[in-house]
Amino acid sequence: MKADFVVTGKQSPSGKVLVSGAKNSATRLLAAAMVSSETVRIRNFPTQLVDAVVKIRFMRSLGVDIHVDDINSRVEIKTPQLTLHESLDYNVPIRTTYLLAAGQLARTGEAHIPYPGGCRIGNRGYDLHVMVWKALGCKVTEEESFIRVEGYLHGNQINFPISTVGGTENALICGAIAEGNSEIRNAYVTPEVHDLILLLREMGAQIENYGNSLIRVSGSGGLLRGASFQVMPDRIEALTWIIFAVLTGGEVLVEGVPFEHMQVPLLHLQEAGIDIFRNSHSVYINPSCISNAGIQPFELACGTHPGVISDMQPFYTMLGLKAKGTSRIYDYRYPERIAYARELDKFSTGAINCQPGKIVTRGMQQLTGARVTSTDLRGSMALVMCAFCAHGESYIERVDLAMRGYNDLPGKLRGLGLEFRTLEA
C-alpha cells in the first residue's frame, strides 16, 4: 500500500529507540527456513517490516505454515508441503524472491519464482541467480509471470564474475541441500550473509568459509533439521538513528547497536567531529556530541564491508548538508544511486551536486520544507530525516519505501516524540 508523510519540521527526537533485527538478514532467514523439514524459530525478527510481511504472505500462498508474534518479535516457520500453481499472485515487489527456489526444488523438483522487484538504484538483474541454478543442474525458463526452475540440485563449482551478496545467499541455500559438494568463488560474506551461514549450520548444513570470498558447502542431499536462531541487529538502522539524532539536535538513546559491524562507519563520524557516547550495546546522542568546531566536511568512498556500504550513503549525504564546508561521497559500486539526492536537494536549493558515482554537498544549509518523492528505500528515510530538520511543512510521497527497511517506523518516530501525518492510498 502506498503511503505519504506530512511533516512540520524543526522537531528534535527525545527518548530511546531499539534497533530491530536486520532487514538484510531476516528476509533471507525466512527463505532458508523453507529447506527444513521441521520447525524453525527465529527471534529478534522485524515482524512489521514491509519486505518481511510481503515475503511471508507469498510463502503462505505456497503452503508454508508461519506463525508471527509481533509482541515478542518472533516467527515460527514450518513447511509440511508446497503447492505450485500458475494462478498464484506473482506480483511480489521485493528483490529476494530468488531465495525461495531451494525449498520448492527440494520438495517438488520445480520452483516458481516471482520476478525480483525492489528499489531502482541501477542495473541489478537476476542473471547471477540463473547462473547458480544452472550450475547446480537445473533448467531455467522465463515465463510471463514468474521464473520456472526445474530439476534437483547437484553440487558444483560456482564462479561469480563479480562479488555478489544475493548470488552468494542463493548459492548457500541451494548448496546446503544439494546432492554433493559445492564451492562458491568470488562470494561476498557480509555480516548478514554470515548470519545466514550460522542459521544453516544450526539446521545441520556443513559450510566452511575462507575469508570473505571462498565458501565450501557439503550438500545434505535432502532437507535440513529445525533450529532456533536470533537475527543480528540492523547496522544500517543503527547508523540512521545516530545520524538523525545528531542532525536534529536530539537527545536519543539508541539501543542494540552492533558495534562489531560498524567500526569504520562510526570512525567516519568521529573524524567529522561527532563524539559518540557508548557502552557495550548502546549509543547516547545529545547536542554536546558535536565538537565546538561543528560538523567537519569529509570525503568517503562507499564500498564493501567493513567499510561504508552503499545503503549507508544517503545518511552521510544528509550529514554533508550540515558540515562546515564541502563534502564528497563516492560510490562506484552503485554509481546510479543518486536519484534520491536530487529529491533531497529540494530542501536545500542547489547545495547538492551529483553525477554517477559522486555526490558533492555544500554544507551549513538552512533547510526549507519541500514536496519530495521517494526513489528508493534508504533515500526515502533520508527524506524523512530532512523533513524533520527543515523549516516549514514537507510532503513526502511513497514513504512506504522507507517502511520496507525500518520495522515499525511510525511507531518508533512517535516513541521519540515526533509528530507527523500518514496518508495512505
Alpha helices, H only, 146-228: 165-177, 191-202
Is the preceding peptide bond at 306 cis, omega within 30 degrees of 0? yes
Which helix (H) or strand (E) segment holds residue 360: the answer is strand 358-362
CB 137 within 8 A of CB 156: yes
Count of H-run helices and E-run strands, the chain? 13, 23
**Alpha-carbon dihedral sign for residues 62, 86, 24, 242:** negative
- Euclidean distance between the first and final Cα of the chain, in Å? 7
Cα dihedral 147, 149, 154, 160, rounded to 10, equals -20
Q: Are 406 and 240 in contact (CB under 8 A)?
A: yes
302 catalytic per annotation: no
| Residue 222 in grid coordinates | 535432502
Three cell numbers written together for 412? 518508533
CA distance 55 to 220: 26
DSSP letter at 232 equals P
Q: Of residues 119, 174, 289, 302, which has the active-site annotation?
A: 119
Report DSSP letters for 237-277, one per residue: HHHHHHHHHHHHT-EEEEES--GGG-HHHHHHHHHTTBPPE
Beta-bridged to residue 230, according to DSSP, are: 43
Q: How far apart are CA 153 and CA 40, in angstroms?
A: 22
Cell numbers that stand for 391 in this block: 523549516
Catalytic center residues: 119
